[in-house]
Structure formats: C-alpha cells, structure tokens
Amino acid sequence: MRDLRSRLRAIVRTPVPVRPAAGEAPPRELTYEADLGYGGSPDAEASAAALGGVVAGEGGCRFVTVDRAWDGDAWHGAHRVSSFSLDPGAPLGMLDPRLADLPDLTARPVFFDIETTGLSGGAGTLPFVAGCGWFEGSEFRVRQFFLTGPAGEPAMLDALGDVFGRASMLVTYNGRTFDIPTMETRWAFHRRGSAAEGVPHFDMLPPARRFWGRGRPGARAGFAVERADRWSAAHPERSCSLTALERSQLGFHRVGDVPGFEIPARYFQFLRTGDARAVEAVLEHNRLDIISLAAVSARALGLVAGGPDACRDACEQAALGRLYERAGDVDRAMRAYELAAAGRDGDVRAHALARLAVLLRRQERHAEAADAWQGILDDMAGDAPRSALERRAAEALAIHHEHRARDLDAARRYAERLRGAAGRVDDDVRHRLDRLDRKLHARRNTTGGREAARLFRDETTD
C-alpha cells in the first residue's frame, strides 16, 4: 500500500501557489485521478463488450452506454409492460399538488434511478450508474450510463443532460431527497448547470408510503402516530421498499438480485480488477428498479383515477379518501371512507370513521356524524378509550348529546369515559362533568316541581 504522500500526489499533481508570479500562467485546477490498484484504467471497450453496451465520449473522458428494451406485450410480474404507460389524463396533481397546473407532463416522462458508491451524499459520492427509462410507443426502453472510471463523469453528465432536456417530467423513487440532489452535486462539482433544473419532478415514494406503507400510519393513511408500533407488529408485510412493492403490488419476485449494500463494493472491485462481470448484476438491479418504478407509478395513478372501488383493501381506500378530501372532492372522499370503514382492519376502520364523522359534521348531518363516532367506540374492548382517536370520539359524542340531542344522561356517560381515559380528572373533563351535573340537578328539580303541581291540581279537582 502506498504511503499518504504518494496518494496525495495521485490526487493533486500540481501544487497551487497563492498567486502566480509575473508572466507565469495561472495554475491549473485540482484534478482527480483514480487510485487503481492493478496499475491501469478499466478498458472501456472490454467493459462495453462484457455489458452489452457501446463506448461513448472521447479520449480519456469515456463511459459506457447500455440500452435495453421491453416489448409492450412482455410481462413484468402479473402485468403487461404496455400497461405501465401513463395516460395523458393521469391525475398527477392528486398525488403531488405541485404538479397540478403543469401541462403535458405525460408526453415523455423519464423514470430515473442511480447507483452510487455510498449513501452519505456530498462530493465524495460518485453515481457510477445513471439509468433512464421511457416509453417509445408501447415499448419501454432503458438507457444506462456506466462509468468505467471517474474521468468519464463529465461526458456522462452531458449525455444525461440530453435525456433530461427531452423529458416532460422526471419520475423517481426517493429522488427528491437523494437521486436528484446527488446529481446536482455532481453537476456543480464539474462547474455545470443542473440539467434537472426546470424539469418537473414526481417522487413516487411519498404516495407509496401513503397507500402501502408500514409503521407510518400518519404518512400512509393519516391516523394517530401512537398506533405505529402496533401497526408494524400486525402488518410485517407492509414495506415501502421498491422490491417489496414489486411483490405485493405487481406479483414480481426477483431471483438472484444483488443486495443494495453490496453495490458499492462491486464497483470498487471492478475498478481494482477491470472485470465488468462484477457489475453485471448491479446494472440488472438498476434496470429492474426503473421498470418497477414505472409500474408502481401507473398502479398508484390507476387507483386515483379508478376510485375507491378499484382499491384492493381498506388501507388503499382510506388513503384515497384522504387524497380526495385534500383536493376538495368531498363526495368521493366520503365514499372512500365508507368503504374503508367496512373493512376488518381496526386501525384503518377507526381512521376512516373519524374522517367521515368530520365531513358529515361540516355538512351539518350531526346524527350521522354521531353514528360514525359511535362506530369507533363500538370496536373497543373496554369502557375507557385507549387512544387519542377514541378519546376524541367520546368527547364528540358527549358534545353531541349535551348540545344537540339534549340527552344529558348519555352526555354524562361519555364524559365519564373521558375521565377514565385520562387516568385523572383534568380541567376540561371536570368542567364538563360539573356542568352536566348542574343541568341534571336543575332538570330533576324542575321535573319534581311540575309533578307536585300536577298532583295538587288533581286533588283539588276531586
């Protein structure tokens, strides 16, 4: 192993003076040269031949381009590839309001994913595979840009910029926090403007969490965060990784796929040995990520367009109701919540009933709203509410029976349940119980007085 001084010389070949002497040319910029242990750069032509690609770029700034295509009639899991194409009227604005008023987003969407030397980000993270997928007619094409060495990155960034320049929209999976910021760092590192700037961007991860997430009920369907641990234990199959969604939503199971944590090591092995077989599985992993991203995006947009009857379970219906509610489509939101409340999942049912009760109350359908709140408490095993949502239901029913139904006895029963839930009599519950006790006492006194007057009248008449 070389010492530190030799390694530093390999990185910075020319010392940079503070100020050039008179008549001297300014010093050249810092440059990076790969530290390749086997004594040379990986051969671009040999790598292209092994990976089924072609060499692009010029001189020492070269990379490999690998193209693959899926026919529209081919199957990816239980679905035909042609079904992954986004319809012109795809309701993208429902999943991401930032895209609501932008036209022609589905003209040429580009599905984008990268493989990097690490996940820490920053200038030291090198994206050595950049994959782009798009439809040409019914055929789905994936073009991958593979770096055979860091020197080819400027040319690869230019080629990637050409693809982005023809895209109507970028579609990623967690790309808003990783893929796109990583690429913007690389463009800035090489003193280039970001090719992603100005291109509409749709990140599929947040909608996926909302529809199919595990352990994040607030992100997935909007109910109380305190139920997260219980949800995770009851639904271990609900993961939001792309490979998990392939299995659950597409019926596609990868065989022999390279684990994500191995990907950086395989690239470093390629740089050390020049053997492209070390990264063949990495490129295949990237290709599957891209076509699955297209499939999952089409699936989510199909749910929004098809409505709650197109959903496969109550989780999807509850999440869809939340989307409709946010968009102001109250009728469809209520329909989605009603279907979700008919399901067997207790957490989802409680959330759906709570949202339904709120919408009914806004429409001044107070008796129906009370029935929805009562449905939450009917599913409880005991008298004392266990969660914030159940306490909210008990409070709403106490208010309803006191001020609207005028049933003071029922109102007090629900207020007593609130006291049991809190474990102590807090100020709000105490005030409510005191007020109800005064009203009940006044009603008994008034009723007793009226009954005495009636008896006196009867005796006098006799």
Which pLDDT tens digit goes with each residue over 227-277? Answer: 433 433 344 446 889 999 999 999 999 999 999 999 999 999 999 999 999
Q: Domain end: 339, 363, 387, which one?
A: 363
CB 100 within 8 A of CB 304: no
Q: Which residues contact 284 (CB under 8 A, 6 or more apart)?
A: 257, 258
- Is 428 part of a structural domain of the chain? yes
For residues 336 and 262, state if they share a domain: no
**What tokens were used for 46?**
């040999």
> CA–CA separation, 69 vs 85, rounded Å?
14
Model confidence at 388, pLDDT cuts 50, 70, 90, reads confident
Q: Are residues 194 and 170 in the same domain?
A: yes
The domain boundary, picked from 296, 331, 363, lies at 363
Answer for the pair 389, 376: CB distance below 8 angstroms, yes or no.
yes
Helix/strand/coil for 108: coil
Residue 91 maps to a domain: yes
Task: Answer for the pair 454, 421: CB distance below 8 angstroms, yes or no.
Answer: no
Residue 162 lies in a domain: yes
Q: Which of 62-71, 128-137, 170-179, 448-457 has the lowest mean pLDDT?
A: 448-457
Q: How many domains does the chain have?
A: 3
Same domain? For 138 and 265 the reply is: yes
For 218, the enclosing helix (H) or strand (E) is helix 217-220
pLDDT for res 448:
62
Same domain as 267, residue 390: no
User: How high is the mean pLDDT of the chain?
Assistant: 85
Alpha carbon 322 to chain centroid, angstroms: 15
**Which CA distances in Å does 245 have to 204, 214, 223, 294?**
12, 11, 22, 12
pLDDT at 217: 41
321-348 pLDDT, tens digit each: 999 999 999 999 999 999 999 988 888 9
Type of residue at 405: A
Domain that holds residue 356: 311-363
- 2, part of any domain: no
Cα distance between residue 221 and residue 219, in whole Å: 6
One domain, residues 157 and 281: yes
* H/E segment holding residue 144: strand 139-146
Given its phi and psi angles, is residue 86 left (phi above 0), alpha (psi -120 to 50 degrees) or beta? beta
Q: 80 - beta bridge partners?
A: 75
One domain, residues 165 and 264: yes
Same domain, 181 and 140: yes
The pLDDT tens digits of the residues spanning 62-85 come to 999 999 999 999 999 999 999 999
What is the predicted pLDDT for the residue at 458? Answer: 54
Rounded distance between C-alpha atoms, residue 358 and residue 227, angstroms: 20
- 116 with 66, same domain? yes
Q: Flag whether 33 is in a domain.
A: no
Band the pLDDT of 16: cuts 50, 70, 90. very low
CATH of the domain at 145: 3.30.420.10
Contact 100, 93 (CB under 8 A): yes
Question: Judging by beta carbons within 10 Å of its beta carbon (0-12, 13-18, 19+), is residue 371 exposed, middle or buried?
Answer: middle
Who wins on pLDDT, 283 or 382?
A: 283
**pTM of the predicted model as reported, rounded to 2 decimal places:** 0.81
Shared domain for 407 and 462, answered yes or no, is yes
Q: Taking Cα atoms as reference points, which of 375, 339, 334 lies closest to residue 355?
A: 334
Asked, for residue 338, whether it belongs to a domain, the answer is: yes
Note whether residue 236 is domain-resident: yes
The count of other CB atoms within 10 Å of the CB of residue 107 is 12
Angle, helix 366-378 to helix 388-403, in steps of 10 degrees:
140
| Domain end among 304, 324, 354 | 304
* pLDDT above 80 for 131: yes
Angle between helices 330-341 and 314-326 (to 10 degrees): 160
Residues in the chain: 462
Q: Could you read off the pLDDT of 201-228 as tens digits, one per residue?
A: 999 999 999 999 854 344 334 443 334 3
Q: Looking at the structure, do residues 296 and 317 belong to the same domain, yes or no?
A: no
Task: Give the C-alpha separation, 415 to 435, whole Å.
Answer: 11
Statement to judge: residues 73 and 97 lie in one domain: yes
- 180-204: average pLDDT: 96
Same domain, 281 and 425: no
Residue at 253 is within a domain: yes
